[in-house]
Amino acid sequence: MSEAVVAAPTRGVRGAALVIAALAVLVATVVLSLMIGARPISPSVVIEALARPDLDVNDHLVVVTQRLPRTVIGVLAGAALAVAGGLMQGLTRNPLADPGLLGVNAGASVAVLIAITTLGVTQPAGFVWFAFAGAACAAVLVYAIGTAGRDGASPAKLALAGAALTAGLTSISMFVLTTDQAALNTYRFWSVGSLTGRGLEVALPLAPVILAGIAIALVSSPGLNVMALGDDTARGLGHSVGRTRAVGIVAVVMLCGAATAIAGPIVFVGLLVPHAVRALVGGDYRWILAVGAPLGAALLLSADVIGRVIAAPAEIEAGMIVAFLGAPVLIALVLRRRTAAL
């Protein structure tokens, strides 16, 4: 029996074990998210609040109306951003790609500002669909520009189109924010990336979009492995590069648009998690995405819990904690990969 035949099942077993381990980490993080805050709540009270909520009991009220919504939002947004980041890195063959590469955050920001300045929307529940539409429109526009011309889409063209659109939309956002103080006051809370101030009525309508996006990403992951060999080689093997790239972009739009809509433009999750998972499972995108989804959710929830603890009784937003923790970890991963290459 050849070494390749033996290695494939071994990688599969390792990948499945890591998925189970990642799910266990996520479950533990969810429990901590429901228990820890300005006032600690015991596991038994949390279970009772979820099973038989009595909103006249203060601890039940905190769990049901505050901690449960932010936990659900953290799980959905973290999983979506991690999977979208892995997809973007596979589609562009760029290890530094993240959801912002397609102009998603910039598109969502402009749409939110339009909602604030022209329609007077002031609550996160009102931002959701504007942010989702803005993110989707930006990603579609980048893909349309990136596929123009005789050669069709390429990783370099997509990256350049995304960078150009992001720069343009960001300048529009900055112009509005520097000339409209009321818009700045409303926008800055959403833009920092937070799981607070949003209820289940914000997250649940977009949950099916995120779950469908993750499913599409997982189905398309074998195609990413073929595309890693290069577009010409993939076509030579009979693979439809254009179809895989188009399906991947659809999944990225669904995941990034929904995650940005419910939690704001959170950075580093989509960049950091795929790098960390790749160090564990190698370059197989089937496992990068499958392990990345629960780990992305656990990372964002952990950042939210840390933000509650270190500044108690006040809080630091999850987006700021992720950025603070993610930067040195990402640098360490890059240095480790560079050392290994040498």
Structural domains in the chain, sorted by start: 3-312 (1.10.3470.10)
Q: Are 297 and 78 in contact (CB under 8 A)?
A: yes
How confident is the model at residue 242, as a pLDDT? 75
Q: Are 224 and 244 in contact (CB under 8 A)?
A: yes
Integer CA distances (angstroms), 198 to 66, 127, 265, in order:
9, 11, 15
Q: Where would I find the H helices in the chain? A: 3-35, 43-51, 58-62, 68-92, 104-119, 124-146, 155-179, 181-191, 200-203, 207-227, 231-236, 241-263, 269-281, 285-310, 318-341
Q: How far apart are CA 131 and CA 173, in angstroms?
A: 13
How confident is the model at residue 81, as a pLDDT? 94
Q: Are 320 and 326 in contact (CB under 8 A)?
A: no
How confident is the model at residue 334, as a pLDDT? 65
The total of other beta-carbon atoms located within 10 Å of residue 188's CB is: 10
Considering the chain, what percentage of its residues have pLDDT values greater than 90?
A: 24
How confident is the model at residue 1, as a pLDDT? 41
pLDDT in tens, 95-153: 777 777 678 888 888 888 888 888 888 776 777 788 888 888 888 888 788 777 666 66
How confident is the model at residue 69, as a pLDDT? 92
How confident is the model at residue 338, as a pLDDT? 55
Q: Which two tokens stand for residue 72?
A: 């659900």
Per-residue pLDDT for the chain (342 aa), expressed as one digit of tens each?
A: 444 444 555 667 787 889 999 999 999 999 999 999 878 899 899 999 998 988 888 889 999 988 999 999 999 999 999 999 999 888 877 777 777 767 888 888 888 888 888 888 877 677 778 888 888 888 888 878 877 766 666 667 777 888 888 889 888 888 888 888 877 877 777 777 788 877 888 888 889 999 999 999 999 988 888 887 777 777 777 777 778 888 888 898 889 888 888 888 887 898 889 988 988 888 889 999 999 999 999 999 999 999 988 877 778 888 888 888 777 776 776 676 555 555
pLDDT in tens, 52-66: 988 888 889 999 988
How confident is the model at residue 176, as a pLDDT? 83
Q: At 90, give phi and psi (nearest 5°).
A: -75, -40
Q: How far apart are CA 43 and CA 28, in angstroms?
A: 12
